[in-house]
Every structure is written in structure tokens, then in C-alpha cells.
Chain A
């Protein structure tokens, strides 16, 4: 079964850091580009970042201003999102997506003191 499972979310104070993970299974992870998307409570979807299959191309949403870093480990079938200098407005469910066909169930990040 093709599956993506996010983890690493939780409660963090403003200014703190978190690292999200996305574990892939059921397909050849290394051959697909991946995306992170977030959804603030009661709001719409917002694209966060993209990484190509062999990490040669990386893009970020302009709004992130260099605070987030996407990476992947094809040997571990895993995608990551390092989030630094977190703000209240980063509070959201974070989804990983295989290109745009397969989505994980999401992990909630709450930034609050």
C-alpha cells in the first residue's frame, strides 16, 4: 500500500524549532519529488516547499523567509522539514505529498507560549 506518514509535530514556544518527518512506503521513494503543504486551523492549503527526487532542485514559499529547510534521505525513504524561528502563524497541520497524487494524514504543529 502506498503510504505517507508524518510525525514530529507538537507544541513549541515562539522562536523554537521542530523537525518534521514523513515516512514513505509502498513505492520507490527516490524516484518521486515531494512537497510539504500546511493548513492553519480553519484555513486553506498553503504550499510550503518542494524537493526533487535527488535533491537537485529545492523551492520554498516566499513567505517562509529562509526559516524552513526541506531535505530527504532516499536510503531511509524519508522526507524532512526543519522549522526554525517558529511563529504563532506557523501553527498548522503539515502534510507531505508525493508530487501531487498521494498525501499523508498530517501532523499538527502548535506554536504558543
Chain B
């Protein structure tokens, strides 16, 4: 089974920019992996931010964006806000409906 790797933790200053990445043990991440990004705050259900690499939902703050970067999926947060402190998970698809979540990145805004 594929393993999806994320940075365990990152810190960003308020107003700063940070890039979270999502790598696959099977090789480069492509649009075919349909990368998704989720935000989860303590005690809450996950909330989807990005789907299919770079698409945003109506509720996704404009400061979040998704892309492919250096063989990985990437989530860029530009202009971090205190409320962005959360755990972030990526999800990659490996054919059919088989998907694997990354272990998550704990983002601290400090």
C-alpha cells in the first residue's frame, strides 16, 4: 500500500506564507492522484479546502491555494491568520476509489 508523507509540523508567522507538501511513496504526485486537502481543528470534523489539486470550494478562504510542486502536491497559505492554526491532511487517489491520507501536518501560527 502506498504511503503518503507530509511534514509533521510547520510554523508560520501571522501574515506570512507557508507551503505544506504531500508526497507519494510510489513516485511523483500528478493530477491523476486527484490531491485533496483538508483542515481539521481540535474537536471538529475535517473540512475540505482543496479538491483535484487546485480547486476551491465556496467556503475555502482565498488565502489557501493548491498546486503540484516538485513532484508533490502542495497547499500554500498566503497571509496566515491565527484561525488557520490546525491540522492539515492531504489525500491521494490510487486508482478506482482507493485513497490514502497523509499523516497530517500540524500548523502553528506564531
Seen from chain A, the residues whose Cβ lies within 8 Å of a Cβ on chain B are: 33, 35, 37, 44-47, 50, 52, 57, 59, 62, 95, 100-106
**Do B97 and A57 touch across chains, with their CB atoms under 8 A apart?**
yes
**Given A44-B101, A59-B98, list of 11 further CB < 8 A pairs?**
A44-B103, A45-B38, A45-B89, A45-B104, A47-B100, A50-B99, A52-B97, A100-B91, A101-B51, A104-B45, A106-B45
Q: Distance in Å from the Cβ of A16 to the closest Cβ of chain B?
A: 25
A103 and B48 within 8 A (CB): yes
> Roughly how many angstroms separate A47 CA and B98 CA in the complex, as a whole number?
9
List the A side residues contacting B27 at CB < 8 Å. Answer: none
Looking at chain B's contact residues, the main secondary structure is: strand
Asked if B71 is at the interface of the complex by the 8 Å CB criterion, the answer is no
Instruction: Tell yes or no: B102 within 8 A of A by CB.
Output: yes
Q: How far is the CA of A104 from the CA of B44 in the complex (A)?
A: 10
A44 to B104, Cβ gap below 8 A? Answer: yes
Q: How far is the CB of B13 from chain A (nearest CB, A)?
A: 26
Of all chain A residues, which has the CB nearest B103? A44
CB-based nearest B residue for A49: B97
A105 with B45, Cβ < 8 A, contacts A44-B103, A57-B97, A59-B98 known: yes
Whether A46 and B45, one on each chain, are in contact in the complex, defined by CB atoms closer than 8 angstroms, is no
Chain B, 34-85, CB within 8 A of any chain A CB: 36, 38, 40, 45-48, 51, 57
- Cβ distance A89 to chain B, nearest Cβ, rounded Å: 17
Closest to A63 in B: B1
